[in-house]
Structure 1
């Protein structure tokens, strides 16, 4: 049992940015399910968006963000984060050799889908996440303790359930530990592993969101899942991400015979917003036709994209042929734990930052390379908040015994069943009949009746996947329109009359679920 000032669950860019920015006199503990370097942020290829080009301006970046998000975004949040982006990038670039530069020593700016200007800063060509994470790890001060291979599974609340005061974790040997703190932060990422095809790290299963939901926090916009259009596809399996920057550098999507598939579909063609491109590729795949990225126009491809080159070569793709087989897969969750800009949730003492949080920046569909930006911003803002707040140490209850507890047999589905059913029923194209079918299938597992202390980490993963999948399915069924990453074939158009700027919020009240169909306005003007 420990009592820290700050406990951070997760180790991605938002978590590390927060830890680095906190005052050195604070005791900070990072808890991560795997290793520090296995977070989604470490895998990020594309880059970070910031309006720092000569012809660019934050107003253009704001416009692109709103357009991609189909105007479901929180406008104040968008303005605040996008306006702060240039200074965040400059500060980071001044701290070390993090980003790529051109021959004049200026930051190299790339182009990605749905952006109107070259504004994507990169590191290591297509290894931006790795570069930034390694930089932040190198800056972690001595007051930060990192605990790897610990599975956080239950948030601890005070007696009257008004404040979060800690978290329970399981070690690899099954021993249960409690970590108390004045500030408990969920930075555990999204839920990409709920789907068969995904770009996400193996650990990203929606744990943080499920824990927050069980504790009574508000969860919002879970229907909005972004499917990245281009994952490397080999014999029906996805093997890794092919960054949108490849299309930004001139690659186009084609069929086996070389016919472009985005002609006449959107004014921006292959650089259209991700939901448009993903749905177009999906149409061809459902007909049994493979789609490829034609990269023949990109000079020195292996030099520009070394990480992607390695992924392709490892999987037997001959880049000299000029074609990479691709398929869409789950990539990013626009929804999550409802927070303000500093990461404060609806429960006192509980915060969420990064992909686990929903600030309203991304709306219904994230603009490419805005996610690492949000992580940097939220980590910085929450650090300012905590640094200026008086630390309140919690009184610890030593009456509990912390011995390993053997698992009880739980009636839970296989992980592959969850992934395949979510991909089929709640994936790129949805409809009411399939969503109701999935909702009924998930409801049979009665995860609310399982005592978490008695479960193995394998069963805890399944429980959290079922909970998070249920939240997505419920929200997708309630939103009777198509918007951004949420596409309903039975409601194929945006319904601005009934749904523009309205959010679906789910909340579990003190352990008793309500049919929380709270619909609130996300944007006033």
Structure 2
């Protein structure tokens, strides 16, 4: 049974940031696919940081709260925006190259809900790929990376995490013991039929933590990116918000620009507002396009998007890119504090799998890569201040499961995606959410989401069970939040964005709703 100081589950920017700062310890990264197959690698947008002399962390702070509908954790937002500029400069000193002008100054873009030009890019519209690859190369000499192995269960004894159990594609189970375990497995975009996420992002880390008794929060807050490339009703790839930041506008097939009359920031309104506006246009039978006719050198500025459009036969010379909203980001996740600590000792979470409250009810554009860098470092630095005691090797790996399960018939991924897309989507009603909750409860009644024996299932089946778990958490949370806020929009309840709301009401649902038994 391998033993190490730190196990990190996931291979995106948050995982790699934590691994880099822990590289002088014995660190093992475990990822269920190739290390390259993460949302971080797909991120076209940049990294938001108040690096310009005319900008300030206070401006970035306020923009983050406004976009998040004041549901944010104020202290964690401060950490994010105050540490951001230093983090960028430190990575530059390590050799990371960002896009600059002829004078060596950052080429700063602007995206939705930002009051300033503060978006730093690398490789034009390939920032995520460039930064992730740089971090990966930085950790290679000192960190062990295990690919194509799925983490299935945390090894927990008396509310102390001792490591993780995994399953290989051939069904072989393995156990890894560690003094500290970090979940950095990303969100759950593949829960929906239309998503910008990699198809392997099925909420595994969050579901696994839930089974182990970790507290989960804010799962109802789902961000839909307004502009996915829409080909014959299918969302086939992301069209970065930076395109609108450069001056592109949203129009329908009649050439009507509809955002200016809906929000003071027009096409650069917060993502939840723009996504709903596009959704309403499509409900009326309209097609929606990004008008890029006034953007010179589009192919040079946005090479990734240009290649995607060409792949699907879109003639960019016509200046029209067909778009539709798709699931993009989960604001909720494993509840942590500012150091990544969960309610389970020696278990930590970071990145999209974690819920620090930093994004509130709706993430501000380009704050996700920044979160991965800043909080990856914060978690690592906290771990380095703790003692590294070796776990008890005699503890049974599957302490949180039942002895056996009946053979059950599971739904397909497509069926789960249809339920989430149709009933727990951009806009929601009590009737639709009731249908979704009951659908997931049907499977929960066959076996308990938090107490099944992974040995009885294949990796593909475990992934589906994880998706059922996540679907139940999201739909139940959405059913119980009787208001509209950010990424959670209910037609049967009014929108609430008042600044004092956090003090007036509980911002998290009751702990006992989320904790496994």
TM-score category of the 2 structures, normalised to the smaller one = over 0.9
2:401 — aligned with what? none
2:104 — aligned with what? 105
Q: For each residue in 1:299-353, what CA deviation from the matched residue of structure 2 results, as whole angstroms up to 9, or x when unmatched?
A: 1000000000011111111111100000001000011001011211111010000
> Are 2:23 and 2:139, in contact at CA under 8 Å, matched by a contact in 1?
no
Please point out which of 485, 489, 493 is paired with 2:487. Answer: 485
Cα distance, 1:494 vs structure 2 = 1.3
> Are 1:253 and 1:270, in contact at CA under 8 Å, matched by a contact in 2?
yes
Paired residue secondary structure (2:179): strand
1:360 maps to 2:365: no
> Aligned ranges for residues 429-468 of structure 1 at < 5 Å?
429-446=427-444, 447-448=447-448, 450-468=452-470
Q: Unaligned stretches of 5+ in structure 1?
A: 513-525
Cα distance, 1:143 vs structure 2 = 3.3
1:54 — aligned with what? 53
For the structure 1 residues 264 and 41, does the alpha-carbon distance in structure 2 shift closer, same or farther, using more than 3 Å as the test?
Answer: same
- Structure 1 distance, partners of 2:241, 2:429, is 28
1:503 — aligned with what? 508
For the structure 1 residues 282 and 175, does the alpha-carbon distance in structure 2 shift closer, same or farther, using more than 3 Å as the test?
Answer: same
Please point out which of 470, 476, 484 is paired with 2:472. Answer: 470
Q: For each residue in 1:128-170, what CA deviation from the matched residue of structure 2 results, as whole angstroms up to 9, or x when unmatched?
A: 0010011111111533110000011111112xx2201111110
> Are 1:72 and 1:501, in contact at CA under 8 Å, matched by a contact in 2?
no
Give runs of ≥4 in structure 1 deviating > 4 Å: 398-401, 495-501, 505-511
> Are 1:193 and 1:200, in contact at CA under 8 Å, matched by a contact in 2?
yes
1:350 — aligned with what? 347
Cα distance, 1:492 vs structure 2 = 3.0
- Structure 2 distance, partners of 1:351, 1:2, is 20
For the structure 1 residues 474 and 466, does the alpha-carbon distance in structure 2 shift closer, same or farther, using more than 3 Å as the test?
Answer: same
TM-score, L = length of structure 1: 0.93
- Structure 2 distance, partners of 1:399, 1:332, is 35
CA RMSD of aligned residues (A): 1.9
- Structure 1 distance, partners of 2:239, 2:430, is 32
Q: Number of paired residues?
A: 506
Paired residue secondary structure (1:208): helix
TM-score, L = length of structure 2: 0.95
Q: Unaligned stretches of 5+ in structure 2?
A: 399-403
> Are 1:215 and 1:508, in contact at CA under 8 Å, matched by a contact in 2?
no
- Structure 1 distance, partners of 2:317, 2:49, is 33
Q: For each residue in 1:433-474, what CA deviation from the matched residue of structure 2 results, as whole angstroms up to 9, or x when unmatched?
A: 110111001111124164221101111011000101111111
For the structure 1 residues 398 and 380, does the alpha-carbon distance in structure 2 shift closer, same or farther, using more than 3 Å as the test?
Answer: closer
- Structure 1 distance, partners of 2:397, 2:225, is 45
- Structure 2 distance, partners of 1:329, 1:272, is 17
- Structure 1 distance, partners of 2:490, 2:22, is 43
Q: For each residue in 1:211-245, what CA deviation from the matched residue of structure 2 results, as whole angstroms up to 9, or x when unmatched?
A: 11111111001110000000000011001000000
1:519 — aligned with what? none
- Structure 1 distance, partners of 2:167, 2:513, is 24
1:170 maps to 2:172: no
- Structure 2 distance, partners of 1:481, 1:412, is 33
Cα distance, 1:511 vs structure 2 = 4.7
